[in-house]
Every structure is written in C-alpha cells, then in structure tokens.
Structure 1
Amino acid sequence: MNEQIKIKDVTPVKIHKPAETATYPARSRIYVRAVEGMLENIRRFFGLIFLSIFAVIPWLQYNGNQAVLFDFGEQRFNIFGMTLWPQDLTILAYVLIVAAFALFFITTFAGRVWCGFMCPQTTWTFLYIWFEEKIEGSRNKRMKLDERKMDVDKFTRKTLKHFSWITVALLTSMTFVGYFSPIDALFTDFFTFGVSFWAGFFIIFFAVCTYANAGYMREIMCTHMCPYARFQSAMFDKDTFTVAYDPSRGEQRGPRSRKVTPEQLQEKGLGDCIDCNLCVQVCPTGIDIRNGLQYECINCGACVDACNGVMDKMGYPKGLISFTSEHQLAGGKTKIVRPKLIGYAVVLLIMTSLLVYDIYSRQPLEIDIIKDRISLYRETNQGLIENVYTLKLLNKSQNDRIFKISISGIEGAKYVGETEVKVGGGEIYTLPMSVVTGPYSLTEEITDFTFHVETQDENGDIIKIQETSRFIFTDV
C-alpha cells in the first residue's frame, strides 16, 4: 500500500487557441493572400470548367430550340431531346437523391472538397477576390489602401472594383434566369428595357445576391448560413481525408534562419513550423488550421500550397499541412475501403441505376381519359348507346408526332372522332370523342374497355400505350 502510483500528465498542449470570450467577437474583414501551387491550380481548373458549363449551357440549341429550358409557366423542363412534365416527378426525385448520396460519398472519403473546389459560393468568391487583386493589389496593398483616406487613386480603384463586381453579378443573374426563360430574348429585352416584370425582378434579385454573397458576406455564407458545414461531421470518420496540420512534426513552432541546422532546432525544441502565418493569410474563411479540424474549413487546400512553398524555401520536407486522415496523423494507416463508404457507394449505385432505368423506360407519350360527367350516356336516333369522352394526348418528345387512336374490349363498339391526330413537340392535344354500341351487346351496367394509342419514334419503331376506361349503360 506504500507503493507510489506513477501518474502521467495527459493535459493537452494548447496550440495558440483563440481567446475565449463571453460573446461573439465582431467580424473582422479577411484579406485573402494569393497563393500558387498544385491544389490551387486544380481548384482554378474546376472553377473554370464549371463556370464555363454554367455560362454556355443556356445558349446551346437543340432541334431549333433552347437545349436546356426549365419553363415553369408551361410546366415542363426541356433538357436537350427530353421533355419532363409534372408526371415525371420521380426522375427529379431520383436526380436529387443521387446528388445527395454522391455528396455523402465524396465527403466521407475526402471531406469538404465540394466546398473547396466546386461550390458556386467558393467559385464566385475567388473570382471576386481575383478582381480585387488585379485592381487594388496584393493583400498588404489592399490593407493599406483601406487604411488610407479617400483620394483620387482610392476612389478610382474602388469604383472600378465595384463596377467589375456588379458586371459579373449581372451577367451571372441573367445567365441563371436564362435557364428559366428563353435567354436570347432575355438579354435583348433586358438591355432594351422590354423585359417582363418577373424576369426583371429576378435578374435584379439574383444580381444583388451574387454581389452581396461573393463581395461582402463570403465566409459568412460558409460558416453561418450553409447547413452543410454543420452536418458534415456526421459523415466524417478517422479515415476521412481532410486538410490537417501535423503537430508532432510542426511543434513547437517559431521563427528561425534558413541556416539553422536540424541539431540546433532540436536543441531549441523547435519543430518545422516557422510560424509565418501564411496558412492563415491564404485561408478564405480566416481560420488557423494549426488549431485542428474546424467546421469553418472548406478543404480548399490553400493552406497546403502556402505551407509547401515555405517548406521548399526552408529545405524541409513538404506535407506539414496536407490532405490526410486522423489515423495517419496518429501514425497508423488509412483504411480506404470501410463499411460506411461501401454503404454510400451501394446506395449511390442503386439510385443511379433506378434513375437510368426510369429515363430509359420512359414513354414519349401519355394519355389521360376524362369521362363526361354531365350525361353518363345517351341514346342516339339509331337506338345506339353513346358515351362521351375527352382524350388528352401528351407528346413528351420535342418532335411532332402523329398519334393513331383505336378502342377494344366492347364487341361491336365504334369509335366516333378523329382516329389520327398530329401533336406538336411538348404539347397537349385535347380530343373530344365518343364510343357507341348497341344496347344488346352490353351485359353489365359498367363495362371496361381499352383505348389504344400508337406512334413512331425517330427511328421508325412503333410505340404503343393503352389506358382502360368505362362504358356506362344503366338500363341493361
């Protein structure tokens, strides 16, 4: 009982944690420093690709029409050769589900790379920062410019910057509205003041949103308004690749000369981090990655490129800040294949297969049969029984089609009306018609029969659909 129990101090070392305050501190403006490196080039590449796709798609033509047009007024979405109607809501549901599980899969594997490399907020924010750098100068010059009193040079630069921002915001909003309204007429009408009220309203609305989000709010959108930053931790595990700092290699941090030898560093107890703060200066959300994983981090990799550049200059190995996992930082090995990742991949594959099947099996035509409710039936001058119907023929394709209509199921029944009609692409054709038959051929008050509609596709293949309706005669 007299033996002393050895106690190990496990108190974590504080690594320049921010000071705790009772209230949230006022937001200070973040001056993002320019950075060069492999990840920055990848981010610019993805940003340019997706920005180009966004700008070009509304201008594409297909069969003489706008290739992609989400026409809410006509309740139809034209996507190249396919027209989606409210009846095709399952396709939209599958698309959203596939997108969600793709995001979950990527996040589990590589963290918030969507936020850092492909998110529109990030893309437009860096685009606005690029205009800032070209017009107002580098980070230090921008800080000094804002500290100066207003003069001719400052007024000129600020005016040119905001004019560039407004121009980008206006072009962005007009392109976005062009997905929902014919874009060629939209641009012409807007600049000639002939645009409709709602189109003009949404152009101004989205321009203001783009200007405010990318120009002023920036990191606030990522840290306070985007829900993805809050629930991302549910998809992370110890094998998720995220931007992280290696404290075992970097601490204790401190400035030093390039001539300092490794032995001298060891004597002083210094790690590889020279505490230059470049990782903080290049961060678009203004965080210090050395404080550990934080929900504000969008995994853009800017701090990785900045730190690797410093390590090169100092002659140290790269990777002090890198895309790594918690297991790897602890000296273990990252497990790429794991149950959570497999589960997301399986669900993603299943939902993608259902989406492809739904699109492949989708019929390019649809019929809706409406029975006349005013008069259930009537007797003609020839003693025949007549039921009146209204057929709605929906041509889901974007090409004109000829539909042939016939009936079956009632012996001796005759179809009275047009048996062949031409329906324009993406149009609904309303066809009034009736079915007549002799009273002695009916053995029940309600007799089921079938409407048949057939047409040909672009390849000459016959497409047939059928719909059941009811013939009513109560004096059987």
Structure 2
Amino acid sequence: MPKSSSPTPSATSSVDKAAVSQRIPVVQIATPSTKIHVREQKGVFQRLRQHSNTLLIAIFFLIPFINYQGRQAILFDVTEQQFFFFNITLWPQDFTVLAWFFMAAAFALFFVTVYWGRVWCGFLCPQTAWTFIYMWVEAKVEGNHHHRAALDKAPWSLSKVRKRVTKHAVWIVFALLTGCGFIGYFMPARELYVDIFSMSSGFWTGTWVWFFAVCTYLNAGWMREMMCLHCCPYSRFQAVMFDANTKTVSYDATRGESRGPRKRSQTTELGDCVDCNLCVDVCPTGIDIRNGLQYECINCGACVDACNQTMEKFGYAPNLISFTSENALKGQPKTSLLSLKSLGYASALLIMIVLIISDLSHLSHIQLNVIRDRQTLYRQVGIDQVENSYQLKIRNKTQQMAFYQISISNDDPQKQTLQIVTDSLIAIKPAEQLDYPLTLSGRLSDRTSDSTQQTVQFKVTQIQSLDNPTPTEPANEISQTSRFFWP
C-alpha cells in the first residue's frame, strides 16, 4: 500500500481542490518543529482507549502497594539481587524465567498484530497512555485545539504565563509521580513516596526518581508523536506481520472518492468523504489516513470516531474509516483464519509458556555450594581417624524461615565409612545465605579401597523443624558431590 509523509493539521487550508477532484494525493511534509494540536474527540473507540489507558496507569501505580505476607508482593530488589513475585523468589540464576516471560509477551504481541494490526500502540502502549494524559492536562489548562494554537502565536502576557506555568507544573508533578511509580518496583514503594516528597531520600534514590521523571516529562510533554514516528522500533517492522486479513484503521477510497465539501441536504455525485479534515485534526501523529496505510498510524481509532460522527450528521452510512482488512475493502472473502504467520507465532508462544511452567516447576528453593578446605587436604587425628573440612554455602531462597538437615552418601550406602562430626540440623532465615563449616570423619580401618580419594555426596533436605526432622511435602532438597582425601 502506498505511504506518504505525515500532513500537518492545517491540511484543510492547503489541500488543492483540483487535485482532490482528480484523486491525486496531496503530500504534505511535517517538520519536527511542527507542533500538532490534536482536536479532542469522543466516540466508541476513544471511550475504550480512555478506559484501557486508565486501567493501565492505575495498575502501574497500585501494584507496588500490594503486600503479601508482610512484604511488597512484586519487588525487584537490586541491592539483594532478588525478585519477589508474591510467594516466588527469583535469584539471578533463575532469571531465565523472566527471559521466557518477556519472549512470550513479544510473541503474544506479534500474534495479536497478525489479526488486529497495531492495536497495542493505540490502546495499551504506555507511551500512548502518558501522552494522552499530558494532552488532557494541556486541554484543561489552555483550552481546545483552536485556543492552544492561538496561545502559541499570541505574545507573552500574564495570562499566557499563568497558563504555561500551571500546565508545566502539573506535568512535572505527574512526571515525579511516574518516577516514583517506576522506582517503586525496585525499592519499598511506601517509604519511597514519603522520602521523595519530604525531600529526605538518599542521593541515588532521588537521582533515579528524577531521571525517570525528566524522561517522562520530555517524552510525554514534548516529544509525543516523535517517539512513535522516529524512536519506536515496533512501528518500523510491524507491517511485516500484516496480511490481507489484518484489521487496521483504513479508509474506503472506493466509497469515499471523489471527496469534496457539500451541504447536508445537497445531492451530489461526489463520494461520501465530505473533506472535513477531522480525521487529520484528531490524529495524535498528524497523518491523513485517506492517503493509505502508514507506519505512523497507531490504530487509536480517533479518526474512526470523528468520521462516523460526520457520517451521522450527513445521513451517510458509518465506517467510511473503520477497523477493516484489505480483503474486506476489496469485497473479497476472508481466507483461512489461521495463517502461517499466526501459527508460527502461536507455536512460539506455546513453547515459551511451556518453558516458563517447566522452569517454575523445577525451581529449587535451596542453593548449595560445597567448598573444600584447600590449605589442608586432610587431618589425621590419632592413629585411626582422618578428617576433611568443608565450607557449605547454603541459601534459603524462600521468604520464610526454613530448617534443613545435612546428610552424606556415596555410591554404595552399605559401605558408608564417613560421618558428619558437626551438627547436621540448621535453621536459615528468609533469603539468607549461611556459610556453614562442616567436618567429615572416617576411620582408616573402615577404608574400603586403596585410593587416596573418595567421592562423597552432600545432600541438604528441608525438614519440618529442628525438633521434627521429617522432610517437607513436597520434598525439597539439593545435592552436590565433592571429594574426601585419605592419607
């Protein structure tokens, strides 16, 4: 499909009527310095977008305030290198689960794109949500799009200064809240908000909060559509996932052309498009959807609501601009619902889900590392006794106090010649790593071979309590092999 540069919202005054009547597209160039004053629009899709954006923002801010068993339910603790997700604790070695999760989310997005195009960008993307929030504040303070455009051209006055200061003050406060909301996923959120707004936070905490606040302020307040047009990688490759049945915001040129203005009661041979230019005025990226599919379109549906509003006023059928597919516009029947692309993305998504479930089901709640005493291979005690020393690093990866029993074994339990000299029952606090010294002892008279080395397996098993060494259900244990040296 043809693509063109993004037109400016002032396209009505610059459209060549002769070119329109001849169905010649008028290409209009929007420079980066052009500010788009988006016209406010109401309608079905805008209500859906507002509700989805509100839900997204509410979830973003509220999740860090959810507690679970006395702890923030979802927390990336960078200092302790832990990720808490309700009753699951992930450590750096478990982060493959997060990798599978993000890959699954990507394939889920690709799968939806095959059927509904860039609908993510219009209804769920954080960039869209925050941009529309900032645009809503701007409209409440400075007025509608006509008033905002006039205010830009007006000379500086007390009224203009007041409006601009008010707008940017609200923007900065919301940006600061956003910075707190984001950092609240990496440190306790309740203390964070108090520290930031009471100006008692530490240097690095305040630095990171203000860094993300400044990014939000510049991104949603100033860059806006430039992020979608020039920075977002998804906008560049999303069209590769489209096929003839993908539903995108499209203009029915067969029905709409030749376009042109007319009175409501006037009989005309023109198409249904009355050339009101509302579809351009309400577009947050400033494009004219009548020029065909363009990568700048974020599928927010604002032009659909605007066009349907005009069609209703003129007594025409709705959906001159609508969410539809290329085949539907051509009047061709829909092909198979499952294409090779959708099957491929669905298969990849299923594989990622299986990997996530598999990793979570095999997630160990104990971490064990056995380190031998490297300075002394063995100690001979008396005539018949030999001892080896070890350092066991045992980590309790759960969020509760846990009790463990340490045991040893070799390939033939009937010929077990080694014994643990130190205490084998231990308690470890939540998320704590215990460095536990342990000594093994063996009798030379019980030695089963002439080899100077013997393989020994250390096993750590979670038990009910120190007074009740019964293994927990389901069993939770881990083991690691090492060597015992004889003279």
TM-score by length of 2: 0.89
What are the Cα deviations for residues 93-120 of structure 1, in whole angstroms up to 9, with x where unaligned?
1111101101111111111111111111
TM-superposed CA distance for 1:398, in Å, is: 0.7
Q: Aligned in 2, Cα 1:58/1:466: closer, same or farther, shift over 3 Å?
A: closer
Query: 133, 155, 158: which one pairs with 1:127?
Result: 133
Query: 178, 185, 191: which one pairs with 2:191?
Result: 185
Q: Aligned in 2, Cα 1:380/1:221: closer, same or farther, shift over 3 Å?
A: same
TM-superposed CA distance for 1:457, in Å, is: 7.8
TM-superposed CA distance for 1:49, in Å, is: 1.0
The residue type paired with residue 192 of structure 1 is S
Give distance in 2, aligned partners of 1:287 and 1:168: 28
Q: Aligned in 2, Cα 1:319/1:421: closer, same or farther, shift over 3 Å?
A: same
| 1:208-287 equivalent positions in 2, closer than 5 A | 208-261=214-267, 265-266=268-269, 270-287=270-287
Which is bigger in relative contact order (C-alpha 8 A, separation at least 6)? 2
SS for the counterpart of 1:386 is strand
Q: Aligned in 2, Cα 1:350/1:297: closer, same or farther, shift over 3 Å?
A: same
Give the match for residue 297 of structure 2: 297
Give distance in 2, aligned partners of 1:245 and 1:457: 67
Give distance in 2, aligned partners of 1:247 and 1:416: 87
The residue type paired with residue 27 of structure 2 is P
| 1:422-433 equivalent positions in 2, closer than 5 A | 422-433=427-438
Give the match for residue 419 of structure 1: 424
Give the match for residue 201 of structure 1: 207
TM-superposed CA distance for 1:87, in Å, is: 1.3
The residue type paired with residue 280 of structure 2 is V
Would you say the 8 A contact 2:308–2:319 is kept in 1? Answer: yes
The residue type paired with residue 61 of structure 1 is N
TM-superposed CA distance for 1:164, in Å, is: 0.7
Give distance in 2, aligned partners of 1:30 and 1:107: 27
Give distance in 1, aligned partners of 2:57 and 2:305: 23
Give the match for residue 436 of structure 1: 441
Give distance in 1, aligned partners of 2:32 and 2:136: 26
TM-score by length of 1: 0.91
Give the match for residue 334 of structure 1: 334
Give distance in 2, aligned partners of 1:19 and 1:405: 75
The residue type paired with residue 246 of structure 2 is T
Give the match for residue 15 of structure 2: none
Number of paired residues?
454
Give distance in 2, aligned partners of 1:417 and 1:311: 85
Is 1:104 the counterpart of 2:105? The answer is: no
Is 1:469 the counterpart of 2:481? The answer is: yes
TM-superposed CA distance for 1:456, in Å, is: 4.7
Is 1:446 the counterpart of 2:456? The answer is: no
Give the match for residue 5 of structure 2: none
Give distance in 2, aligned partners of 1:230 and 1:343: 20
Would you say the 8 A contact 1:365–1:394 is kept in 2? Answer: yes
Give distance in 1, aligned partners of 2:372 and 2:244: 62
TM-superposed CA distance for 1:15, in Å, is: 4.2
TM-superposed CA distance for 1:14, in Å, is: 5.1
SS for the counterpart of 1:31 is coil
Structure 1: which 5+ runs fail to align?
A: 1-12
The residue type paired with residue 449 of structure 1 is V
SS for the counterpart of 1:353 is helix
| 1:21-420 equivalent positions in 2, closer than 5 A | 25-261=31-267, 265-266=268-269, 270-335=270-335, 336-381=337-382, 383-409=384-410, 411-420=416-425
The residue type paired with residue 450 of structure 1 is Q
Give distance in 1, aligned partners of 2:463 and 2:106: 37
Give distance in 1, aligned partners of 2:265 and 2:472: 79
Would you say the 8 A contact 1:455–1:462 is kept in 2? Answer: no
The residue type paired with residue 290 of structure 1 is R
TM-superposed CA distance for 1:442, in Å, is: 4.5
Would you say the 8 A contact 1:457–1:463 is kept in 2? Answer: no
Give the match for residue 11 of structure 2: none
TM-superposed CA distance for 1:470, in Å, is: 2.3
The residue type paired with residue 394 of structure 1 is R
Moved more, 245-254 or 179-188: 179-188
Please provide the CA RMSD for this pair.
1.9
Instruction: Give the percent of matched residue pairs that are identical in Structure 1 and Structure 2.
Output: 45
The residue type paired with residue 171 of structure 2 is W
Structure 2: which 5+ runs fail to align?
A: 1-21, 466-470
